[in-house]
Amino acid sequence: MKTLEITGMNANNVSKVVSGLSMLLANLQVHYTNLRNLHWNVKGKGFFVLHEKYEELYNDVAGKIDEVAERMLQLDATPEHRFSVYLKQAQVAEIDVVSCGKQGLSYVIDVLKVLIAQEREILSSASQVGDEVTVSMMSDYLKEQEKLAWMLTAWSTQQ
Which residues are within 8 A (CB) of 73 and not within 5 positions of it... i.e. 6 or more apart? Answer: 3, 79
CATH entry 1.10.3720.10 includes domain 17-156: no
pLDDT per residue as tens digits for the range 23-53:
999 999 999 999 999 999 999 988 999 999 9
pTM of the model: 0.95
Per domain, the residue ranges of the chain are 17-156
At residue 43, φ and ψ (nearest 5 deg) are -145, 165
Residue 159, pLDDT above cutoff 70: no
Are the CB atoms for 145 and 57 separated by under 8 Å?
no
Strand partners, 100: 43
Percent of the chain with pLDDT over 70: 99
Residue 140, pLDDT above cutoff 60: yes
Per-residue model confidence (pLDDT) at position 83: 97
Per-residue model confidence (pLDDT) at position 155: 86
